[in-house]
């Protein structure tokens, strides 16, 4: 099957993008079946069609039948483009993927290695420019990008591996040197339906994609991490972890960490707040050591890490109060964000939060319960309601968070939260982080939590 790539000029799963000499992959979809577009693809110039076994094609083209069409399409894309960075770190988990990938990139750069990170924030690199892409792009875009990175001399890449991407075989054909598991908590059950199915999708990174010569890096403190059958390197507070966090002390500007590795103890000041960032930094350190970076360089680099856009990002300070932005949009992430901020609160901990529409509905009351338990003031607002009635979403959250105020307009909710800040209070605006738009119905309106919060805080100074 892989010999086919020598006889085609390109490949795509979009019949509209087919050009003369291309292979068209008739992938099954949620709304459409790719087989319905085979004739259109042939009219546009497709000479080869990859289709599920048993598909009847009347057109005069080469038909390749497949029992695992998504995986075979990804492997074809890998063979067609034929090159990727030699040192790829793939990171999966519910929370921490974006920060860990970016921390790996920063560690590589600190070590003098040309590098990039790829995921929710798009392609980040000092050496290659790139447009924003999905967390895990489709196989053609992904392998074209990997080949471009290799051609540009970027030989170290840290990339996110989403559960959707893993389940849909979008990462098949990637040859990671290191694969990491951060944690697993409830999210995306609208797609996966059960936690077991969600875990199985994540576990594919280790069972189906990481080769025998690769290294797995696992959070041993996480109950699902302990279920990963392959654990070459572990990290956590568990005393059996290879990278073991012996002590963690919050400070005004971050936290002090004491990590034991190979019977040596490293004292580190991490300029980022929260135990979750300690985990992300440890994961990144373990990944980079596994990828061959000198351990001393790795541990030295941790003191220079910079936070990722929209992840516990300081928005502004005014009149003795402080406001932060965080992407936390799951119960677990919200709990970690609030507990991270608590040691820095002299007054009240106030949180503005919501939940997205057309997504896992079961997590909404769970998020409300988290805010009731860990915050002093809660303000429920709209996230990305999409096609759902935002009032209904807020009610579902409010059912477990009756202490909260209910303010629909996100800008209004942020402005109100800022208006009630007193000296010593800390405000967390949670849920959207780096996002630059708010999706209501079918329209994405320009909106940025950081800008809205800073503008309100500036007004507070006057």
Specify the residue for token string 């939590």: 449
Predicted confidence (pLDDT) at residue 39 exceeds the cutoff of 90: yes
* Domains parsed from the chain with CATH numbers: 2-79 (3.40.1390.10), 82-304 (3.40.1190.10), 313-461 (3.90.190.20)
HSE, side-chain direction, 13 A CA sphere, residue 48:
21
| Cα–Cα separations (whole angstroms), residue 96 to 89, 104, 147, 160 | 14, 12, 26, 10
Specify the pLDDT at position 211.
94
Label residue 188 by pLDDT band (50, 70, 90).
confident
> How is residue 20 annotated by DSSP?
T
Provide the pLDDT confidence category of residue 365 given band limits of 50, 70 and 90: very high
CA atoms of 441 and 397, how far apart (whole Å): 20
115/409 Cα distance (integer angstroms):
40
Whether 438 contacts 447, CB under 8 Å: yes
Is the per-residue pLDDT at 410 higher than 70? yes
For residue range 133-152, list pLDDT tens digits in order: 656 789 999 999 999 999 99
Q: What is the mean pLDDT of residues 169-187?
A: 94
- Look up residue 14 and give its two tokens: 């979009």
Encode pLDDT of 319-353 as tens digits.
999 999 999 999 989 999 999 999 999 999 999 99
Mean model confidence pLDDT for the chain: 94
Rounded average pLDDT over 272-277: 93
pLDDT at 107 over 80: yes
Does the structure show a pLDDT above 60 at 163? yes
**Length of the chain as a residue count:** 462
444 contacts 437 by C-beta, under 8 angstroms: yes
Q: In the structure, what pLDDT confidence band is assigned to residue 197 with cuts at 50, 70 and 90?
A: very high
Choose between 32 and 382: higher pLDDT: 382
Average pLDDT over residues 366-371: 98
Could you tell me the pLDDT band of residue 1, with boundaries at 50, 70 and 90? Answer: low
> Is 166's pLDDT higher than 70?
yes
pLDDT above 60 (res 160)? yes
pLDDT of residue 424: 96
**Averaged pLDDT for residues 357-383:** 96
């Amino acid at each position: 099957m892989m010999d086919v790539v020598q006889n085609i000029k390109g490949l795509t799963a979009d019949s509209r993008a087919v050009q003369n000499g291309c292979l068209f992959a008739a992938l099954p979809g949620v709304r459409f079946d790719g087989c319905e577009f085979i004739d259109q693809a042939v009219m546009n110039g497709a000479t080869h069609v990859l289709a599920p076994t048993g598909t009847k094609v009347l057109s005069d083209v080469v038909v390749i039948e497949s029992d695992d069409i998504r995986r075979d399409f990804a492997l074809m894309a890998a063979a067609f483009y034929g090159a990727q960075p030699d040192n790829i770190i793939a990171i999966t988990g519910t929370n921490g993927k974006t920060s860990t990938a970016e921390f790996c990139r920063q560690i590589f750069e600190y070590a003098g290695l040309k590098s990039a990170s790829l995921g929710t924030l798009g392609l980040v690199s000092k050496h290659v420019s790139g447009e924003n892409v999905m967390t895990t792009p489709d196989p053609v875009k992904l392998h074209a990008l990997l080949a471009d990175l290799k051609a540009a001399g970027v030989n170290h890449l840290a990339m996110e591996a989403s559960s959707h991407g893993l389940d849909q075989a979008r990462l098949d054909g990637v040859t990671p040197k290191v694969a990491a598991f951060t944690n697993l908590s409830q999210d995306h059950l609208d797609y996966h339906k059960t936690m077991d199915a969600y875990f199985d999708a994540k576990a594919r990174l280790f069972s189906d994609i990481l080769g025998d010569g690769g290294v797995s890096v696992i959070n041993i403190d996480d109950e699902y991490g302990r279920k990963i059958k392959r654990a070459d390197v572990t990290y956590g507070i568990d005393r059996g972890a290879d990278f073991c966090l012996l002590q963690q002390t919050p400070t005004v500007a971050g936290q002090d960490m004491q990590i034991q590795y190979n019977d040596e103890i490293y004292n580190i000041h991490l300029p980022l707040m929260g135990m979750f960032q300690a985990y992300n930094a440890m994961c990144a350190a373990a990944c980079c050591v596994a990828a061959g970076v000198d351990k001393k360089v790795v541990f030295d680099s941790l003191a220079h890490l910079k936070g990722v856009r929209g992840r516990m990002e300081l928005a502004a300070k005014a009149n003795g109060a402080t406001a932060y932005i965080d992407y936390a949009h799951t119960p677990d992430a919200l709990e970690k964000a609030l507990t991270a901020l608590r040691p820095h609160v002299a007054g009240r901990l106030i949180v503005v939060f919501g939940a997205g529409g057309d997504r896992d509905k079961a997590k909404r009351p769970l998020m409300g319960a988290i805010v009731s338990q860990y915050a002093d003031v809660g303000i429920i607002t709209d996230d990305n309601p999409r096609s759902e009635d935002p009032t209904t979403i807020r009610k579902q959250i409010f059912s477990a968070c009756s202490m909260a105020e209910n303010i629909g307009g996100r800008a209004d909710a942020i402005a109100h939260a800022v208006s009630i800040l007193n000296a010593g209070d800390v405000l967390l605006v949670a849920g959207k982080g780096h996002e630059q738009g708010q999706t209501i119905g079918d329209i994405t309106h320009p909106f940025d939590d950081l800008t809205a919060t800073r503008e309100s805080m500036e007004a507070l100074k006057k």
